[in-house]
Copies of this chain bind each other. A is one copy, B any other.
Amino acid sequence: MADHTGDANALVTSPDPNHPANRIADLCRLFYTLGWVTGTGGGVSIKHDNHIYLAPSGVQKERMEAFDMFVMDYTTKQYLRRPPVLKPSACTPLFMAAFTRRNAGCCIHTHSQWAVLVTLICEAGLQNPANFNSRNVFEIKEIEQIKGISRGGSGSDEIAEGGRKLGNLGYHDTMRIPIIENTAHEEDLRDTLEQAIEQWPETCAVLVRRHGVYVWGKDVAQAKTQAESLDYLFQLAVEMHKLGLKWT
């Protein structure tokens, strides 16, 4: 069985700052300063070839090191490396959903307060009281930052292919991010999160009510910049709401 022997350790040992194990530690430090992973919340996972790199559960994200990472075989779903003492993230099945259903290369989970507040404003129907459906989806349009979001979350930014639009959203498109209800245990979110991914082929993210958001991208750069653009839009939406302005 795979473990933390020398061979397994080689999976997380590299002088390259872009190696997935180093990159996750870096991202966690950055996300801590953004308030996304306060108090051990949130997480990041990178798919690299056939390996899934995962930050551990319940640790201080800004103090993480490459040596703390779990590594899973994408095909067999077996851990190739399990750091002693640490526990794998409860988000693992949720990250896997983005890898398998969207061919993502990186998935980010934050507890950003702006994400949580947006789900609360929707829940209470404060923006659009007449439309019950608005409780389960965050919609905004005609804000430049929307152009930072790709259709489906992990596509190229080219517009092409068959009858279906690809590439990033345009300024006049309405961005829609589905909201699913939270559950007592994080792993129990898997079914509804997978359903939301299927039901909303253009989304790059799923909001979880009173909890946070999952965002993915084809690689680290796209996942990270989409997470930033979304958080910008969530924050702007809350401020707009305070000023009495409508999102769409």
Which residues of B have CB within 8 Å of A210? 142-144
Do A229 and B184 contact each other (CB < 8 Å), given the known contacts A124-B245, A143-B116, A245-B120? Answer: no
A96-149 CB contacts (< 8 Å) to partner B: 111, 113, 116-117, 120-121, 124, 126, 142-145, 148
Q: How far is the CB of A169 from chain B (nearest CB, A)?
A: 11
Complex CA–CA separation, A153 to B236 (angstroms)? 28
The answer to whether B182 touches A225, judged by C-beta atoms less than 8 angstroms apart, is: no
Complex CA–CA separation, A236 to B35 (angstroms)? 12
Copies of this chain present in the complex amount to: 4
Question: A-B pairs with the 9 shortest C-beta distances?
Answer: A39-B229, A144-B211, A39-B228, A39-B148, A39-B225, A38-B228, A38-B232, A171-B184, A40-B225
Q: Is A9 an interface residue (CB 8 A)?
A: no
Contact of A157 among B58, B59, B120 (CB under 8 A): B58
Which residues of B have CB within 8 Å of A113? 232, 235-236, 239
Q: Is A20 an interface residue (CB 8 A)?
A: no
Q: How far is the CB of A118 from chain B (nearest CB, A)?
A: 11
Q: Is A172 an interface residue (CB 8 A)?
A: yes
Q: Mark A136-170, 1 if CB is under 8 A from B, else 0.
A: 00000011110010000000010000000000001
